[in-house]
Amino acid sequence: MTRSFFVGGNWKLNPTSLSAAKALVEALNKADLDPSTEVVVAPPALYLLPIQEIAGKAVKVAAQNAYFKESGAFTGEISPKQISDAGIPYVILGHSERRTLFHETSEVVALKTRAALDNGLKVILCIGETLKEREEGRTAAVCEEQLSAVVKQLKEEDWSNIVIAYEPVWAIGTGKVATTSQAQETHVDVRKYLATAVSPKVASETRVIYGGSVNAANSKDLASQQDIDGFLVGGASLKPEFVDIINARKA
């Protein structure tokens, strides 16, 4: 089975006006995007609905977070049921900024993943190691630990609605990027773990994408790797070069 290429743009807490957010999507709507690439943008929560309304057929929308409860006394949280009801198809979970700044554990990420799937959402599941963990040779172990909590919550058929985003924490927003061989090697390790922990079928069919200072200059080389199925892009998704990243596999 051929895994379709996937490029997500995580806008984080940007931009700070709705007009600027709309301009980003309108530019994508007009761009010549590779039709074989699945394109998803994740605007701030306040902009989800207006962006969903103007996004063209080639652009899907993702929430940047969701709680593991559908409703209740959880001030400031966003419900997976509400996201689904709004017609938003994707949600990003487990991003390193959520894990570090907001102290989300792998177990919490797993609960959120289960809740998102139960509400019909597709999940962009982020994993990745810190620089210290890489220097200690623990990259594979850390990724497996983060994935194992999710594996315990999922059935085999759930994995068709998961995109795994490998994002080394040391490469996010730093300008540093994993070498092509480093990224490919970790993606292979992720598939080996899935083959053992879930099934060889899930390992071969689940899309594993790379994130961490991806830009137009390095995207083609990364996209040429057998086990890299796309990108989760941060800062560059707010710039015109995002189109070049989307088209990284285009002939």
State the CB neighbour count (10 A cutoff) for residue 198: 19
What is the four-CA torsion angle of 116, 121, 124, 129, rounded to 10 degrees? Answer: 10
Relative orientation angle of helices 180-197 and 216-223, to the nearest 10 degrees = 50
Amino acid at 59: V
Strands 207-211 and 90-93: unpaired
Tokens of 92: 């990003």
Enumerate the known binding-site residues for substrate.
10, 12
With tokens 């409860």, the residue in question is 69
Is 187 known to be catalytic?
Answer: no
Q: How far, in Å, CA of 182 to CA of 166, rounded? A: 11
Tokens of 194: 């899935």
Enumerate the known binding-site residues.
10, 12
Is 167 known to be catalytic?
Answer: yes
Q: Which of 38, 95, 104, 144 is catalytic?
A: 95
Tokens of 57: 């057929």
Q: How far, in Å, CA of 12 to CA of 31, rounded? A: 22
With tokens 């966003």, the residue in question is 78
* Phi (first) and psi of residue 10, to 5 degrees: -95, 105
Q: Which of 38, 97, 129, 167 is catalytic?
A: 167
Active site residues: 95, 167
